[in-house]
């Protein structure tokens, strides 16, 4: 009888550890909830044709790019490409230490790509509820999110938080 009680306690303890690991993985890896959002000032956008690095950086911070983190298995940082179709301009955003940094130009190996035209970008930029507007624009096919890497790899970097918010 003592042997069974001891065995039951070990099984219960092991189950408890597994549950804690699952909770940790969800809240800190797959869908980070406890990350402080960086304060990035919103630059004025006077015309959709004047979209610049600062506008893309601010917008991606607002949709939650700051929640992304490097892959656990490869330490590769999150990379997002934003493509403004009618201007044929591409922007690369890399997230380091929960802070997005955007440069102009195509990304070498992006994880995901946001695609819209300049008017769609301006619409999203001006929205009071960016997530709700992104959802609406996605369903209207004005904003496209291209998933360029394996979904498990993206989940490991925290993209689930952004993708679930927009879809």
Question: Does residue 127 have a pLDDT over 90?
Answer: yes
Strand partners, 91: 82, 104
Closest listed residue to residue 55, CA positions, set 29, 84, 12: 84
Sign for the CA dihedral angle at 54, 60, 61, 63 comes to: positive
- Residue 128 DSSP symbol: S
Given this model, what pLDDT does residue 5 score?
55
- The reply to whether the predicted model has a pTM over 0.75 is yes
pLDDT at 111 over 70: yes
pLDDT at residue 26 greater than cutoff 60: no
Beta carbons within 8 Å of 146's beta carbon, 6+ residues apart: 112, 113, 114, 115
């Amino acid at each position: 009888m003592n042997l069974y009680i001891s065995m039951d306690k070990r099984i219960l303890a092991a189950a408890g550890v597994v549950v804690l690991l699952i909770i940790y993985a969800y809240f800190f890896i797959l869908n980070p909830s406890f990350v402080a959002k960086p304060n990035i000032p919103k630059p004025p956008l006077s015309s959709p044709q004047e979209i610049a690095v600062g506008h893309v950086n601010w917008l991606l911070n607002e949709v939650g790019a700051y929640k992304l983190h490097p892959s656990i298995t490869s330490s590769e940082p999150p990379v997002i490409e934003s493509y403004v179709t009618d201007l044929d301009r591409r922007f690369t955003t890399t997230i380091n230490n929960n802070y997005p940094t955007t440069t102009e130009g195509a990304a070498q190996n992006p994880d995901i790509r946001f695609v819209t035209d300049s008017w769609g970008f301006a619409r999203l930029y001006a929205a009071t509820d960016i997530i709700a507007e992104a959802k609406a624009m996605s369903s209207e096919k004005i904003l496209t999110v291209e998933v360029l890497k394996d979904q498990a790899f993206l989940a490991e970097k925290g993209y689930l938080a952004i993708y679930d918010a927009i879809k």
